[in-house]
Amino acid sequence: MRNDDSPPRPEAAASAGPDHRPWFTRRSTLVIAVAALAPTALAGWVLTQVLTGAGPDARDAKPAAASNAAPATSAASPASPAAPAAPAKGPLTGRTVVIDPGHNTGNFDHTDEIERQVDIGTNLKECDTTGTTTNSGYMEAEFTMDVSVRARALLEAKGLKVVLTHEAADRAWGPCIDERARIGNEAKADAVVSVHADGVSAGNRGFHIILPAEVKGGAADTAPIVGPSRRLGERIASNFARTTGSSPANYLGSGTGLVIRDDLGGLNLSTQPKVFIECGNMRDAKDAAQLTSPEWRQKAAQGIADGIVGFLGG
């Protein structure tokens, strides 16, 4: 099942204008009707009243016109239409997003360090993994950093504060998965997305979003984030499908593009709404052709960013 089958996306609804005629069209019809029936003098008087009342200088509220105006404008005092607009203070104001570029290109050279066991609450797990590569050697870690940097630019352009868990070449390996989770927690992130690409056998195609299962153990307690994380994941899934044209994975998730897992430290240790996205399968030639395309990666970043913005109500 494609995400096209899901309920209409709010962003689509928001872009569609109200399906009614503008107020001036209806008033013009009224004026013509009155003018045709009334004596010339009366028609002239009516015309004057209607036009005066409907003119751009009118101070009385025009409900139909107001419905087309931004809320800030209609809320402003009618007596001071020239007053400067207050700074935009929308749902994205003061919000923080953490983007976690999966793996690190240096992990291949630091296998001892990344194999160290860390506590993910429910059990111990390797600090980090190397990630996969395409058959031609393009690393998942290169892909995840590139998409994350692109997503950051898009989100910052919306006014959001964006934190990456690591920057390209700013560290030799890692961070470990517990530290990746901690960065989102300490930032009190309103949304966290860990960016990945899968490495399974050819023929398996498409993207999927990994949602946190409800787990409790040690430092792990995901009950508060299961609900919001699902909403975040659903937003990203629908937007990612739209911007990239990709289909939800054909090898798991029953075509929904959504999978729940209880074994990922980055999710188990998160106290903030968080999902992973596996953008495609690096080991499938058709998916790899997309994953290695800068143009496609920009579309991927756009889908992730749009999903986050939608989740935050922007």
The span from the CA of 257 to the CA of 249, in Å, is: 6
The CA–CA distances, whole Å, from 171 to 29, 116, 195, 202 equal 70, 17, 18, 32
Note whether 196 binds Zn ion by CB under 5 A: yes
Residue 94 phi, psi dihedral angles, 5° rounding: 75, 10
Instruction: Specify the residue, 96 or 270, whose C-beta has the smaller distance to Zn ion.
Output: 270
Of residues 130 and 298, the one with the C-beta less far from Zn ion? 130
Considering only 3, 100, 102, 266, the residue that binds Zn ion (CB under 5 A) is 102
Stretch in the footprint of Zn ion (CB under 5 A) among 7-15, 76-84, 98-106, 239-247: 98-106
Minimum distance from residue 307 beta carbon to Zn ion (Å): 19
| Residue 166 binds Zn ion, judged by CB under 5 A | no
Segment near Zn ion (CB under 5 A); pick from 94-102, 151-159, 209-217, 304-312:
94-102
Residue in the shown chain whose Cβ atom is closest to Zn ion: 196
Q: Which residues contact 146 (CB under 8 A, 6 or more apart)?
A: 294, 297
For 143-186, give the DSSP string.
Answer: HHHHHHHHHHHHHHHTT-EEEES--TTSSSS---HHHHHHHHHH
Q: Which of 221, 182, 191 is nearest to 209 (CA)?
A: 191
Altogether, the residues listed in the chain come to a count of: 314
> Least distance in Å: CB of 274 to Zn ion?
15
Give min distance, CB of 106 to Zn ion, in A.
15
CA–CA separation, 290 and 282 (whole Å)? 9
Q: Name every residue whose Cβ is closer than 8 Å to that of residue 5 and which is 6 or more positions away in sequence.
A: none
> Please, which residue, 131 or 248, has the CB nearer to Zn ion?
131
Catalytic-labelled residue, pool 115, 126, 278, 295? 278
H or E element, residue 53:
helix 40-54
What minimum distance in Å lies between the beta carbon of 241 and Zn ion?
A: 20
Confirm or reject binding of residue 205 to Zn ion (CB under 5 A).
no
Question: Do residues 231 and 313 make contact, with C-beta atoms less than 8 angstroms apart?
Answer: no
Q: Is 113 a catalytic residue?
A: no
Residue range at the interface with Zn ion (CB under 5 A); choices 65-73, 131-139, 225-233, 264-272: 131-139
Contact 283, 135 (CB under 8 A): yes
The nearer residue to Zn ion, 130 or 239, going by C-beta atoms, is: 130
Specify the amino acid at residue 93.
T
- Shortest separation between residue 289's beta carbon and Zn ion, angstroms: 19
Size of the site for Zn ion (CB under 5 A): 3
Cβ proximity to Zn ion: between 145 and 154 the closer is 145
Is 131 near Zn ion (CB under 5 A)?
A: yes
How many alpha carbons lie under 13 Å from residue 229 in its C-beta half-sphere?
A: 29
Stretch that binds Zn ion, among 27-35, 60-68, 89-97, 127-135 (CB under 5 A): 127-135
**Residues 24-63 contacting Zn ion, CB under 5 A:** none
Residues making contact with Zn ion (CB under 5 A): 102, 131, 196
Residue positions annotated with a catalytic role: 278
